[in-house]
């Protein structure tokens, strides 16, 4: 059985699926389908095993609303422009701080029930001191790494492969997807407009702050929901701080963003 016969049989079972395979894997003309008419299939002499009808027209495929949606690949996708080198270490540190406080809280009842020569007042004082030290450590870690950015992405809606395009497509209206860690070290995605970022001057653990809240149009909101695949995200409010490692080798887009925010 040759490949033409295989496609021939498969096409009779699922013709639309074959068109999708044809678009992705073999260099044959792309067909547009008229969904309002019945199709009578016949063998295409130029491409054995591929059926066609009067309603199938070979043409250059140009996605639009009249075509089946799965024929057009969405060019919009998130492009990573910054990744923190210490993202995993910061996440582990926060997890250890949270788990130590939770573990001490869960074990505190056993601390009072165990028989021993230590009086109750001493046990309470020891537990309170230990808990306060761990809680203060957790508060310090949470405060220090609240603005810590683990990843920054932008919406890349261009299919160009020109390397110079990376430098030029950051502008004041660009939408940034900034990932930070919440209290439980879970990923927190915030959408920030580039023109709302202002660079700090010689401030430790802080690179930017937002001068105003980010707002989205209805089309932008729907596009972001489509790109993030219904993942949760929030819009950056005013006076939100962010920190990146600006002393490392940065991508051209991050350098462009730093210059834009000065």
H/E stretch holding 191: strand 187-193
Query: Comparing C-alpha atoms, which of 50, 8, 55 is closest to residue 35?
Result: 55
pLDDT digits (tens, 9 = 90+) for 147-195: 999 999 997 654 444 444 444 468 888 999 999 999 888 999 999 999 9
* Rg (the chain; Cα; Å): 29
Provide the whole-model pTM: 0.65
Map residue 199 onto helix, strand or coil: strand
pLDDT digits (tens, 9 = 90+) for 135-148: 999 999 999 999 99
The count of other CB atoms within 10 Å of the CB of residue 239 is: 10
120-145 vs 87-113: helix crossing angle, rounded to 10: 170
3-13 vs 15-25: helix crossing angle, rounded to 10: 140
43: β partners? 51
pLDDT over 90 (residue 68)? no
């Amino acid at each position: 059985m040759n490949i033409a016969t295989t496609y021939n049989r498969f096409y009779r079972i699922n013709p639309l699926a074959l068109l999708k395979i044809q678009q992705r894997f073999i260099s044959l003309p792309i067909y547009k389908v008229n969904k309002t008419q019945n199709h009578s299939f016949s063998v295409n002499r130029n491409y054995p095993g591929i059926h066609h009808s009067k309603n199938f027209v070979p043409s250059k495929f140009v996605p639009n609303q009249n075509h089946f949606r799965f024929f057009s690949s969405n060019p919009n996708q998130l492009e990573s422009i910054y990744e923190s080198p210490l993202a995993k270490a910061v996440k582990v540190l926060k997890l250890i701080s949270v788990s130590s406080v939770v573990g001490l809280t869960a074990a505190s009842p056993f601390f009072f029930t165990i028989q021993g020569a230590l009086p109750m007042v001493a046990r309470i004082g020891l537990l309170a001191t230990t808990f306060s030290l761990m809680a203060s450590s957790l508060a310090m870690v949470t405060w220090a790494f609240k603005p810590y950015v683990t990843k920054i992405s932008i919406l890349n809606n261009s299919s160009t492969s020109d390397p110079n395009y990376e430098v030029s497509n950051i502008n004041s209206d660009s939408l940034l997807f900034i990932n930070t860690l919440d209290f439980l070290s879970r990923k927190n995605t915030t959408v920030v407009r580039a023109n709302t970022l202002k660079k700090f001057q010689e401030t430790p653990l802080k690179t930017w702050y937002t001068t105003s809240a980010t707002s989205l149009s209805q089309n932008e909101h729907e596009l972001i929901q489509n790109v993030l695949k219904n993942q949760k995200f929030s819009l950056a409010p005013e006076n939100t701080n962010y920190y990146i490692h600006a002393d490392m080798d940065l991508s051209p887009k991050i350098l462009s963003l730093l210059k834009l925010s000065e």
